[in-house]
């Protein structure tokens, strides 16, 4: 019986060993299938990440190009702003010069107005003086006959003397 108990025990040990081996191999296959599925999912995810990385690199390059363009526009804008500031300063200087010139013109106009009044006064005085001179000349001319009249009068007197008239 011993033999039979040993052989039964060995049989049971062999059955348990076979079941353990089958269970181990089954577990190994299940785990390996899950590992393969997990690995495939990870590979798929890795491909997606690489695709996203490529898209991000492209976007970064685009943004860098836009940043460079914006930097160039900013530089141009600063240049234009400086030019505008210089133009404004020149305009302010020109307005100051214009104000000074307008003041000078106003002073000259006032001077010209004064001179015009003096000229008008002088002309009036000259006209009065000429009128006075003309009146004096007219009274002198009335008092003395003109040379033609004198000649005519002389001829008329001669004619009376000679008996012509």
User: What's this model's pTM, rounded to 2 decimal places?
Assistant: 0.41
Class of residue 95 by CB neighbours under 10 A (exposed 0-12, middle 13-18, buried 19+): exposed
Q: Is the pLDDT of residue 1 over 70?
A: no
- Give the model confidence (pLDDT) of 142-157 as tens digits: 655 555 556 666 666 6
Residue 102 lies in a domain: yes
pLDDT for the residue numbered 159: 60
**Half-sphere exposure of residue 63, counting CA atoms within 13 Å on the CB side?**
6
Identify the domain containing residue 70 by its residue range: 2-110
Q: What are the backbone dihedrals phi and psi of residue 163, each rounded to the nearest 5 degrees, phi first?
A: 90, 25
Residue 101 lies in a domain: yes
Residue 32 lies in a domain: yes
Q: Is the pLDDT of residue 2 over 80?
A: no
Residue 62 lies in a domain: yes
- Give the model confidence (pLDDT) of 70-100 as tens digits: 999 999 999 999 999 999 999 999 999 999 9
Residue 33 lies in a domain: yes
The structural domain count of the chain equals: 1
DSSP string, 49-113: HHHHHHHHHHHHHHHHHHHHHHHHHHHHHHHHHHHHHHHHHHHHHHHHHHHHHHHHHHHHHHHHH
- Give the model confidence (pLDDT) of 99-152 as tens digits: 999 999 999 999 999 999 999 999 999 989 888 888 887 666 665 555 555 666
Residue 116 lies in a domain: no
pLDDT for the residue numbered 145: 55
Residue 84 lies in a domain: yes
End-to-end Cα spacing for the chain = 218
> What six digits make up the tokens of 141?
């001319």
Q: Please tell me the distance from the alpha carbon of residue 15 to that of residue 38, in angstroms, as a whole number.
A: 33
Is the CB of residue 111 less than 8 Å from the CB of residue 119? no
pLDDT for the residue numbered 26: 81
Residue 136 lies in a domain: no
Four-point Cα dihedral 61, 66, 71, 76, nearest 10: 140
- Give the model confidence (pLDDT) of 32-69 as tens digits: 788 788 889 999 999 999 999 999 999 999 999 999 99
pLDDT for the residue numbered 153: 61
pLDDT band at 25 (very low <50, low <70, confident <90, very high): confident
Q: Please tell me the distance from the alpha carbon of residue 107 to that of residue 69, in angstroms, as a whole number.
A: 56
């Amino acid at each position: 019986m011993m033999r039979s108990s040993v052989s039964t025990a060995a049989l049971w040990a062999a059955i348990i060993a076979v079941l353990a081996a089958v269970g181990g191999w089954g577990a190994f296959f299940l785990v390996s299938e899950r590992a393969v599925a997990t690995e495939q999912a990870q590979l798929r995810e890795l491909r997606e990440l690489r695709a996203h990385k490529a898209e991000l690199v492209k976007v970064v390059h685009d943004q860098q190009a836009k940043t460079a363009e914006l930097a160039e526009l900013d530089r141009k804008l600063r240049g234009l702003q400086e030019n505008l500031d210089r133009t404004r300063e020149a305009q302010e200087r020109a307005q100051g010069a214009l104000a000074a010139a307008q003041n000078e013109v106003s002073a000259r106009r006032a001077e010209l107005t004064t001179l015009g009044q003096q000229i008008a006064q002088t002309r009036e005085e000259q006209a009065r003086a000429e009128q006075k001179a003309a009146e004096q000349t007219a009274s002198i001319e009335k008092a003395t006959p003109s040379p033609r009249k004198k000649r005519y009068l002389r001829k008329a007197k001669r004619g009376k003397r000679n008996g012509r008239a």
